[in-house]
Every structure is written in C-alpha cells, then in structure tokens.
Amino acid sequence: MDLFGAHNDPRRSRLLEHSRFRDLGSSRGIESAISWSRREFLRAATGATAATVLSAFSPLRAMAMRKGQKAVVVTFGGGTRDEETFMPDGQENIPHLLREFVPQGTFFTQVVNRGILGHYVATASLVTGVYETFNNFAAVSPENPTVFEYFRKELHRPATDTWVVAPSNGFGLIGESGHSSYGAGQGAGVILPKRLLAAAIPTRDSSGFEHLLRDNYESPVYAPAMGVSDAQLQQMAQMLKVSVTDFAAHARSLRSPDELSVYVARQLMRQLAPSLLWITLHDIDVAHAGTYSLYVDAIQRSDRLCAEIWQMIQTEPEYAGKTTMFILPDFGRDSDTSVGGNGFQHHRTGDAYSRTTWMMVRGAGVRENVLVDRPVESTDLVPTLGSLFGFSPDLSHGKVLPEVV
Amino acid sequence: MAARPIQVEQFQSYPPQAKQLAISNILLLQQLPLSFLPLLLREVIVYDWKFPAERDEIDRQFRYLGSLTPDQLSSAMRAFASLKLSPELEAMDWIGAPFRFSERLSAYLWATHQIDDFGKVAEDYIKAFNNAVPGAPASAPRMGIAVIGQEITPTGYPLFRKLRPHGTYFSHVDPRSSYKLLLDTVAARTRAHPAPFAHWCIDGGPAATVQNNQVTSVAYGSLQPVRKALIRKMQQVSASQAGVEALRTRLAETNPAEVGLNHPTDDPVLSRFAISILTEGSGTQIYSTTFVQWSVREALRRAQPLTLLARFAPRQTEESADEELSGIQQPTILDPAGSLLDADMGAYYTWINLQRLSGAAQSCFIAWFEGHGEAVAIAPSCRPGTEFHDQINLAEILSRIQSTG
C-alpha cells in the first residue's frame, strides 16, 4: 500500500515552499518549518518584530515589576491546529488574537508539547512544568507540585488568591498535587462550572441545559456530575455572590460550557480578585465528534472569549495595569495527512503537528508586537510564572522564558 | 528470541477461519515479541469478518514473516522487542482479548514516552513487508466521488478550497445534472470490474439509494435502529460510571445480534463493518456527516475499493444531538449551514484517503455540490490549479476525468 508518505503530503509541500532550507526529514525539522511558516504569515499580517534581534533580557520587565502582580492563564483548549488558526485559511477564525493580541503582545511561535496528548494529563503538565504520565481518564492529582502550590507556599498566599476554572469534571483534582511536600489544602481551589450547574438544577429539569452539561467530548454521552452537596453549592454561590437561581437562569442563556466558565471567572475576579487565575477552555474538543463546522465555531468562540477576558482584566480595578495574560493551547490535533489519524478529529498520532502550538503573552511590562521564533516547551510556563511572581518551582523541568520576564 | 509457550488450545474462542489461521502459524507466532504479536492477533481474531483486501494483507504478513530465517526474523522484530513493557501488560490475556491489550499498550507507550518510537518502528515494518511481499495492483483506476447533497444550502462559504490546487474547479455545472448519473456510473463499473466489496455507495441520507447487489451500500438512515440501540447501550454504560475507557471497550465488543443486526440476509462482513463504524467512530452515532466521512475513510482503508460514491446529507444540530444522546424525544432540527463545512472537509478527506491506496497517481476524483453548480475534478487529465467557468454538465466532467483515467 502506498502510505501517502512525505512526498505526497500537500501540507508538507506548502511548508516546503516556505522552508526551503530547513530539515524536513525529521520531526524537529517539521516543527521548525511549522513555526517558520506561521511566523512569516504573521509578520506579513502584523508587521511584528522578531525577538531574536532584541536583547534576550529586557529592562522593561524589571522596570514594570510592581506590587500586586497578577496573572491570568487561559488554555485555548482543547486541541487546536495551525490549519484553523495561524495558517492562511485559518486566520479568519482568530481575528482577536491576530489583530489585538499579536500586535500588543509577545508571541511564541513554536511551543512544543512532548508529553501525553490527553487534555487532563496535558493540562496537568502545564500546571506542574513536568510531563505528567498518569492515565488521562483517571481521577488522580498531578504527581508533581503545581504552580498553585509553589505560589501559595513560597509567597504565603491564602487559598482565595489562586483559582482554577475548569471545563470538565475530570479536572477536579488539578489544583493540587500528590507530592509529599505539598498536596492537600495547599493548592488552588478548582471550580467546575458544569458540576455547579448540574447541582443547581434538579435532574428532572435538565432539559435545555444539555449543551452545557456535556462533560467529555471523547465520550459522546453526558455522565451525571457527582460530588457537590447542597451546602457546597450554597457556599460557592455565596462566595461568587450569585444566587443559585440566577446562576442557573444565566446559564440557560449561554451557548457553551466555555461561556459558562468565563462567566464564573468574571464573578471570581470581581469577588475574590485572585492573583493567579487559570481558566481552561475546552469547547474546541467538540472536534472529536467529527464535525468540522462545530470545531471551527468553537475556535472562533475561544478567540472571542479571550478578548472578553482581556476586557475583563482592563475593566476590573484589581487587575487593570498589573496583569499578565498568557494564552496557549494544551496541544494541537492530528494533521490531515497523518496515516494513523483522521485529521482534525483527534489527537492520537503524536505527530509534529499535534505537538507544536504557540503561546501569546500580553499585559503589563510585556513587549509588544514581538515574535519569538526559537522553540520552547509547554513546561516552560511554570518557571516563567515563578519568575514573574518571585517563587521558585524547583521541581519543574521547564526553563524561564526570558522574553517575558 | 526465546519462543513463547503458546498452545493451540488458547485459540479455542477464535472464529473458525481465524482459529485455523492462528494454529497453522503457531510456530511463527511463538517467535514474535509481545509488543507486536497481540497487534497481529487483533487482526487475526476478526479474520472471518475481514474484507478480501484485509485478508490479503494478513496473509501477506504471514508469508513475509514465515519467509524469514530465524536471524532475519529476529532482526525484523528487534526494534519491537526493544520496547519496554510492564509486567501487568505481559500478564494480560493478550491471545483471548488482543483488542483490550492493544488499548492498554497504547496508553502505556504514551505514558512511558515510547509512542513515537513505536510509531516509527511500525511504519518501518509496514514498509518492509509491503516491499517484500507487495499487494496486487488495482485491477482498474480507482474512482472516488464525494457529493454534497442538494438539501445542504449554500452560504457563501468558499467550497473546495483545499481540493482546488490539485485539480480543475468548475464554477458553472449544469444544475440539472443528476445524481442518478453517478449511480449509473457506479453500476457500470461493477459490470466492468466485478469483485466483492470493490464498489461502494455510502449515503448520509435516510435510506440506501442503490438496489444493485454488486454495490456495497451503507446508509446512515437505514442504520437508525442500530444507532438507537447503541445510544441506549452508551447511556447504560455511562450511567454505571464506568468511565470513558470502559465505554470504548464495551462498545468495541458489541455483537451484531445485540443491536439487531442479525437478520439471516445480512452479510456478516458488512454487518461487522457497520457496527465498527458506529462503535469505533466518534460522532458517527449522532451526526450523518461524520458517519459518511468515517465510513468512507474506513471503507477505503479496509476494503480498498475501485469505486466509492459518498453522499453527504444535512446533519442534525448540536442541540438535537445532545437531546438524542440524553434520550429526550424532540423533533430533529437540521443544520444545513454547518453541514456544508463538514461535507466540504469530508470531501477533502475522501480524496486524501483515496490517495493512500495503490495506483493513486492513476485514480480520479470528483467533488460535486449537487444542484448548486460547483465541482472540482482531480485526475491525470486535469491540470492542477486550473479553473473552468463555462457551462458544463456532470456527464462531461465524468468523461473528462475518465479520458485517461
């Protein structure tokens, strides 16, 4: 059987046009070519400057460092390809990232995830700075300390100062690790909006909420949410200053689980103003259903929600002018021509396209209109946050990104 | 390599032809490493329900492996043998349940960062055996046709963007051109090149449109009772809180009789194929566009047909799908606009998968938006990246692509 190898790959041909002198015979070569072509398109579209011509250590950050530093991390999940974002045909899907974020931020064009490409375990790797290896579908905590635990322990921050808003019930244990030096009670609170919603509405009245309660796109059936008592629900509602009735009523007006997550994040920012807030978007993973249109819709929605989160940061006094926002996908999806895959639908092959993504950084002290071409890893986020806040994530395997701090 | 203590009795649960195949090759099986053997057995155990092209591939693998001297076999398997497996994997019933083993193996290889190595080793092996014992060339140039049904409404979305660079784009196809012409074309090819499972029609509509018993026909609509039965099964497994992996395994083990596919006139090979589409495919149970795309992919990969006609029909909205999965009876609402994008991508993937088969350079392909004037044709007789804006009918396009095809 002709395996539709490299010589027949139309995407590869397109990359070759833009990457004549690059080594496309290796996985690293492909990653580099992906980055190169994306950079060229972006440069043409935005006129951005290559960071490599600047000093790696900018005085801007030191000058901009201030008391009250905050960070909002948004994972542009779950699983987004170049084809539908930064490649020419995809740029129409991300107008906010292209027109607002790239010109006003620092853009890392080549963020490689060398870990397991399952959403929970990959996000756990992002929050620990170590490629976690547990079963993606298991209800376990990350093995290594999370950024939230480093943050709280070293900076003596209270539990209310860091939160995770996560899309799926499977993310419930992502706030703190099983590490013996950290662990229970030392990490971030995790809010699972779907679990709140499921608890807020009687089972017999779930009609009209199905689109928000779908928990896992790898499984086509909604599994009932477990584990939230009435007392916990009331406590959470009190904390967010929203009644259970209002919460359910508002949810009914929303189109997607990610919109529910952003709604909850807004309440968190207003009521508790956490210094380190992690929002995990996940609508894009609807691609597993094989419906390209819904996948593209979700990318467009995520792009819009990122802009809304940025606006929230600008309009909340606790955040305006002192917040750094990070946006990055957890990983990509399979290329159209990967033999073992089915294109955008899944992320099962581990090919270079599914491992190569990007990161956008915007906010106080961050250089504007800058592209960083060199390859970095998704595990570099945690040390970078450590450097930003002033804590040392000693067990992380990543490296600080000097272009940000 | 030390021989594995495999006994004839261990294949008692295998269907007749699979058992015969395994037993007749038992000395060879005993020599194969555990990172390879169960994957071969996963194919063998369903040998009785394989298409002729698949059987040929398994037979060729045995001929290839059986032709090697002990040293050559050891060399061919060295890279597989060097992969490190866990004692838990080794202890599994990998003869009786090779499918479960391969799922666990996959998860283990990801967790231990061996998945990339495995992918490369597998690809090298496939190349080696195909070079050593090549399959027979296609008996005629293959033809693939993807139709976007006329019920799908145009929206201004630029169709066939990904296909146009590879062939000729037609902007004014006579809207009176008939789908029946394509059915007649398939029927004519069955007469010219008769062979089992060599000519397929896959329809996303309410019922099969082909009465010719030489054509293998699969339709989303006619499988509705099977889909409903599977959705009920999904709901039951899901309600038991067994988890995503258990759901996947339980679905993969579905027996045709369990979901009503045990009529005496049902072809057992085709029934198994239909079950696999609905149990191994994601989204195939609820979206007709996904059903067609995945069926096409699997038919091309497994049956390697000479002719394949696929027709995309409107799928239901995400809301309707959620209601169906939740067991709520509501009138189905269709999403013609979203279906257009899905079908456009499905047409592109149809062509990619056709290109993976032998004789790709001689194959011909048409994607046609029924009743709406647009088509693209890819064939040796069509110059890549060209456009044709004069009036033309479908018969003329068919004639063009077959002129040297």
| CA neighbor of B226 nearest in space, from B267, B265, B276, B269 | B276
Query: Which of B340, B342, B354 to mutate to test binding with chain A, by most A CBs within 10 Å of its CB?
Result: B342
- Report how far residue B130's alpha carbon sits from residue B135's, in angstroms, rounded to the nearest whole number: 7
Task: Give the gap in angstroms from C-alpha A58 to the nearest C-alpha of chain B.
Answer: 36
Chain A partners of B239 at a C-beta cutoff of 8 Å? 223-224
Chain B partners of A2 at a C-beta cutoff of 8 Å? 355-358, 360
Confidence grade of residue B277 (pLDDT, cut at 50, 70, 90): very high
- Report how far residue B115's alpha carbon sits from residue B228's, in angstroms, rounded to the nearest whole number: 36
Q: What percent of chain B has pLDDT over 70?
A: 96
Closest residue of chain A to B166, computed from CA coordinates: A10
Q: Which residues does A110 contact at the CB level (< 8 Å), separation at least 6?
A: A31, A32, A34, A35, A356, A358, A373, A374, A375, A376
Q: What are A346-383's pLDDT values in tens digits?
A: 998 888 889 999 999 999 889 999 999 999 999 999 99
Chain B partners of A207 at a C-beta cutoff of 8 Å? 328
Name residue A253's amino acid. S
Pairing of strands B199-203, B307-312: parallel
Quick check: is A401 in a domain? no
Tell me how far apart the terminal alpha carbons of chain B are, to the nearest angstrom: 48
Contact (CB<8Å) B326/A220: no
Chain B partners of A345 at a C-beta cutoff of 8 Å? 282-283
Partner residue facing A2 (CB), from B297, B325, B358: B358
Quick check: is A404 in a domain? no
CB B274, CB B218: distance < 8 Å: yes
Partner residue facing B356 (CB), from A4, A137, A288: A4
Partner residue facing B116 (CB), from A118, A214, A350: A350
Average pLDDT over residues B348-357: 97
Higher pLDDT, residue B253 or A268? A268
Closest residue of chain B to A219, computed from CA coordinates: B244
- B41 three-state secondary structure: helix
Task: Give the gap in angstroms from C-alpha A177 to the nearest C-alpha of chain B.
Answer: 18
Pairing of strands A356-363, A105-112: antiparallel
CATH number at residue A306: 3.40.720.10
What's the domain range around A40? 10-389
Query: Which of B301, B326, B354, B378 to mutate to test binding with chain A, by most A CBs within 10 Å of its CB?
Result: B326
CB A177, CB B205: distance < 8 Å: no
For residues B118-138, one letter each, b for 16 or more C-beta atoms within 10 angstroms of the residue's C-beta and e for the rest, the string is bbebbeebeeebbeebeeeeb
Least confident window among A236-245, B44-53, B206-215: B206-215
Quick check: is A398 in a domain? no
Report residue A190 CA to chain centroid gap.
15
| Overall number of domains in chain A | 1
Supply the pLDDT for residue B379.
97
Supply the pLDDT for residue A54.
44
Closest residue of chain A to B247, computed from CA coordinates: A219
Which residues, given as ranges, of chain A have pLDDT below 50? Answer: 1-27, 52-65, 222, 224-225
Supply the pLDDT for residue B51.
98
Give the ipTM: 0.92
Quick check: is A305 in a domain? yes
Supply the pLDDT for residue A362.
98
DSSP state of B361: G
Query: What pTM, to 2 d.p., does this model score?
Result: 0.90
Question: What does the block give as tokens for B368?
Answer: 């046609």
Contact (CB<8Å) A289/B286: yes
Quick check: is A396 in a domain? no
Closest residue of chain B to A206, computed from CA coordinates: B326
